[in-house]
Copies of this chain bind each other. A is one copy, B any other.
């Protein structure tokens, strides 16, 4: 049994708290949030107590802190928790500023730090990763990642998001690195505000096709859109020397209707809370393995830094219409 605290009682904090409550080896003790109502609600639903961060960090029975607060507090809370001797499970991104994230890296030492690139824990992508690694289809040569959101976020969010590459594509950069098994060294991004001109006026893009090339010559294409019109499109195809391995979309149910116009499946799962529900559970189970000393964090601080680096290169490629080399 490990004592655990969740910092941040927003949408993602509530997910992690529910998973912590359901896990047989975790005891969710505290919920921290400056918004009292949010903290109280989450505490009531999980049997945890509302507490201040300092008190949580001072409690020796707490083994790990889940940092699910606003992005600008990720680095600060993580460092404080680690200084207090806790393991940290921090939501992505580390920060919107690559420089700041790099500076903080030295403060972490060897403490267990798990970064919340949740897609690595999705059972479908784990199976995909496993099959690629098994070599059953030969060597991986090229990779296609499709990652389209159902609908754009509010413009207010877009403005503080750090831009589509750091906010959305960053997941795909991490996925690409994990599946390719090596670092991208070249980036070319063709991007535009096709979905909503207001996003373009805010200085951001909502559609991109990004091409990565690795040191050994593998090529990856990432397709992003802030709006699909048909749900959360999350597909990956790995073209290998002997064949293709792919992970498809997840539907709301297996029900189909066959009528005059053809067979209609059920809708795609609409967004990440549904699509990655199992991934969030697995991520929490992985944290327990880390706390038990049975695993090293599958995603660490360095992964966060590297994804930010590629995002900045992609942005630069989009702005210059040239291929950009990624600083390693």
When the two chains form the complex, which single residue of B138, B233, B255, B265 contacts A131, counting CB atoms closer than 8 Å?
B255
Which residues of chain B are near A96, meaning CB under 8 Å?
Answer: none
For residue A81, CB closer than 8 A to chain B, the reply is: no
Chain B contacts for A127, CB-based, 8 A: 252-253, 255, 266
Whether, in the assembled complex, A128 has its beta carbon less than 8 Å from a beta carbon of chain B, the answer is yes
CB of A258 closer than 8 Å to a CB of B: yes
Q: What residues of chain B lie closer than 8 Å to A213, measured between beta carbons? A: 190
> Contact flags (1/0) for A182-204 with B, using CB distance below 8 Å?
00001010101011000000000
The answer to whether A245 touches B257 (Cβ under 8 A) is yes
Asked whether B259 lies within 8 Å of A229 as measured between CB atoms, the reply is yes
Nearest chain B CB to A83's CB is how many angstroms away?
Answer: 31
CB < 8 Å neighbour of A255 from B124, B192, B218, B230 = B124
Q: Count A-side interface residues using an 8 Å CB cutoff.
A: 73
A285 at interface, CB cutoff 8 A = no
Residues of B within 8 A of A194 (CB): 141-142, 217-218
**CB-CB contacts of A209-226 with B at 8 A, as 1s and 0s?**
101010001110101010
Any B CB within 8 A of the CB of A2: no
Contacts A260-B267, A262-B267; is A211 near B229 (CB within 8 Å)? no
Cα distance A259–B268 in the bound complex, in angstroms: 9
- A35 CB → nearest B CB, Å: 19
A209→B229 contact, CB < 8 A = no
CA distance in complex: A296, B127 (Å): 41
Q: How many copies does the complex hold?
A: 4
Asked if A158 is at the interface (CB within 8 A of a chain B CB), the reply is no
Report chain B residues within 8 Å CB of A45.
24
A300 in the interface, Cβ–Cβ < 8 Å? no
Q: Which residue of B lies closest to A259 (CB)?
A: B243
Asked if B263 and A264 sit within 8 Å, CB to CB, the answer is yes
Name which of A217, A244, A250 has the most chain B CB atoms within 10 A of its CB. Answer: A244
Q: Of A109-117, A168-176, A234-242, A287-295, which binds chain B? A: A234-242
**Which chain B residue shows the least CB distance to A139?**
B194
Residue interface mask A118-130, B partner, CB < 8 A = 1: 0000011001100
Let me know if B259 and A242 touch, CB within 8 A.
yes
Chain B residues, Cβ within 8 Å of A103 = none
Contact in complex: A221, B223 (CB < 8 Å): yes
Complex: A67 Cα to B248 Cα, angstroms: 39
A322 CB within 8 Å of chain B: yes
Asked whether A254 is an interface residue with its Cβ less than 8 Å from the other chain, the reply is yes
Q: Which 4 A-B pairs have the closest CB atoms?
A: A22-B22, A248-B254, A243-B259, A244-B258
> Chain A: residues with CB nearer than 8 A to chain B?
18, 21-22, 24, 45-46, 123-124, 127-128, 131, 136-138, 141-142, 144, 148, 186, 188, 190, 192, 194-195, 207, 209, 211, 213, 217-219, 221, 223, 225, 227-231, 233, 239-268, 321-323
